[in-house]
A = this chain, B = another copy of it.
Amino acid sequence: MKIGIIGLGYWGPNLVRNFLSQNLVEKVYGCDMNEDRLMFVKSRYPSVELLKNYNELLEKDIDAVAIATPVNTHYKLALQALNAGKHIWLEKPFTSTTVQAKELIELADSKNLKIFVDHTFLYTGAVRKMKDLVSNGELGDIIYFDSVRVNLGLFQHDVNVIWDLAPHDLSIMNYLIPDKKVTAVTACGISNYNEIENLAQLSLHFENSSCFAHFHVNWTSPVKIRKMIIAGKEKMLVFDDMENSEKIKIYNSGVDITTTEGIHNALVQYRIGDMYSPKIEQTEALSLAAREFITSILEDRKPLTSGEEGLEVVKILEASDKSIKNRGLLIEFEQSFEKFYYHSVLPFQKVG
The A201-253 residues at the B interface (CB cut-off 8 A) are 201, 203, 205, 209-212, 214, 216, 218, 220-224, 229, 231, 236-238, 242, 244-246, 249, 251-253
Q: How large is the interface on A (under 10, 10 to 19, 20 to 34, 35 or more residues)?
A: 35 or more
Decide if A223 touches B214 in the complex (CB within 8 Å).
no
**In the complex, A133 has a CB within 8 A of chain B:** no
CB <8 Å contact, A253 and B222: yes
Interface pair B194/A222, CB less than 8 Å apart = no
Q: Choose the segment among A69-77, A150-158, A174-182 that binds chain B (4+ C-beta atoms closer than 8 Å).
A: A150-158
Is A144's beta carbon under 8 Å from chain B? yes
Contacts known (A220-B231, A245-B224); A329 close to B330, Cβ less than 8 A: yes
Q: Which residues of B contact A220 (CB under 8 A)?
A: 143-144, 231, 236, 254-255, 270
Q: Are the CB atoms of B270 and A154 closer together than 8 Å? A: yes
A240, closest chain B residue (CB): B223
User: Given A278-B274, A279-B272, are A229 and B236 neighbors across the interface (CB < 8 Å)?
Assistant: no
Task: List, in ascending order, chain B residues with CB within 8 A of A47's CB.
Answer: 46
Residues A257 and B223 in contact in the complex (CB < 8 Å), given A274-B279, A276-B274 = no
Q: Are A194 and B253 in contact (CB under 8 A)?
A: no
Q: How far is the CA of A192 from the CA of B256 in the complex (A)?
A: 11
Most chain B CB within 10 A, of A188, A222, A252, A330, is at A222
Residue of B nearest to A252 (CB): B279
A190 CB contacts on chain B under 8 angstroms = 143-144, 209-212
Q: CB within 8 Å of B: which of A297-335?
A: 327-330
Given contacts A146-B218, A220-B255, A244-B242, contact A194 B329 (CB under 8 A): no
Smallest CB gap from A259: residue in B: B194
The CB with the most chain B CB atoms within 10 A, among A144, A148, A223, A266, is that of A223
- Which 7 A-B residue pairs are closest in the complex by CB-CB distance? A276-B276, A222-B251, A222-B236, A190-B212, A155-B268, A186-B328, A275-B277
Q: Mind listing 28 A-B residue pairs with CB under 8 Å? A: A46-B47, A144-B199, A144-B220, A152-B255, A152-B272, A154-B270, A155-B268, A186-B327, A190-B210, A190-B211, A190-B212, A192-B255, A198-B255, A199-B212, A201-B203, A220-B236, A220-B255, A221-B229, A221-B236, A223-B238, A274-B276, A275-B276, A275-B277, A276-B276, A276-B277, A277-B277, A327-B330, A328-B330
